[in-house]
Structure 1
């Protein structure tokens, strides 16, 4: 299983990728959704961790794109935004699992 991280904050993406690699995962980091879209899409055995506050194409739009794939990976949202703001951004569509920043091992590992 591969893990793709869409996170524009280098400190968050670096610490998260190092942690996940230490757990044995194959991790690829993208600073924006556009660079993620240019790669081969993830498969149903992969996990995509998406920050909602991405520059350019927002995290919610990246998630909508992922949800449109024939073989959908697991999607985890990471955000420091309030829950009602997250729900507003999804505009009535199903909100995936949301993990609050700062992430902890206990909050992340059970969802992988």
Structure 2
């Protein structure tokens, strides 16, 4: 090969090397941009997660308050043996009369038995 051919090959390799050296910073910049986008995405998701945790806590508090409000007029009485054909509303009226508590039919929405606790079943 002639010295011109060798020089041309060296020149071509130099151009390829220069071109590659210019591409590396561009690739690094693109990677940095993508990494910055991922970092921003993670930060946004972390904030959304925190917001959702706060919202769940608020909703749990609201549910608790609504349940308490719903039970505001409840009366729980225990140790009443179950009887066949019992009328629980009648039992409530008899108890109210026994303790001199005036009560009207409109004062009662629902009368029901609740399931006994596990401890009650064992005794």
State the TM-score bracket (shorter-chain normalisation). Answer: under 0.3
Higher strand share: 1
TM-score (norm 1): 0.22
TM-score (norm 2): 0.20
Q: Kindly indicate whether structure 1 or structure 2 has the higher relative contact order, using CA contacts under 8 Å at least 6 residues apart.
A: 1
